[in-house]
Amino acid sequence: MFHAVTTIALACVALGWLLRHRLGHHVACMGAACLMDYGTLIALELSRGPAIAKALSAPPPLLSFHVAVSVAALLCYPALIVLGIGSVTKKPHWLSVHRRTGRAFLLVRLANYVTSWMI
C-alpha cells in the first residue's frame, strides 16, 4: 500500500512540475504530494511501530541513505511553500531560489522513491 501511495505522490510531483507555469494547478498537485508524503510518514510510524527509532538505531547504509533523502524531501516542502508564496506575493526575486530548491527537491524525492523499492 505504501508503494502505491508514494507512486501517486511522485506522479503528483511530476505533474506539478509540468504545470509549473499554471499556478493553481501547480499548487494543487504539489500540495497533494506533500499531504501524501507526510501522511505516509505518519502511517509508517503508526503501522510499523517506531519506524523512525528503528531507522536511527544502527541501520544498514542503504536505509541510512533512504532516511537522509526522505528527511531532505520532507524539509523541502515547507521551504518551497514559503518561497513559492513569497515569490508570488511580494518578493519576485525569491522565484529563482524556489526554482533551485525545487530542482534539489526533485532529486531527493526521486532518490527517496527509488530507494524505497530497494529497502
- pLDDT in 10s for each residue of the chain, 119 residues: 889 999 999 999 999 999 999 999 999 999 999 999 999 989 988 887 666 677 677 778 998 899 899 999 999 999 999 999 999 888 888 999 999 999 999 999 999 999 999 98
Per the structure, the complete domain to which residue 101 belongs is given by 2-118
Instruction: Report the domain count for the chain.
Output: 1
Q: Which residue has the cell 499548487?
A: 27
For position 109, what pLDDT does the model report? 97
69 CB burial (10 A radius; 0-12, 13-18, 19+) = buried
For position 45, what pLDDT does the model report? 82
For position 92, what pLDDT does the model report? 82
CA-to-CA distance for 27 and 34, rounded, in angstroms? Answer: 10
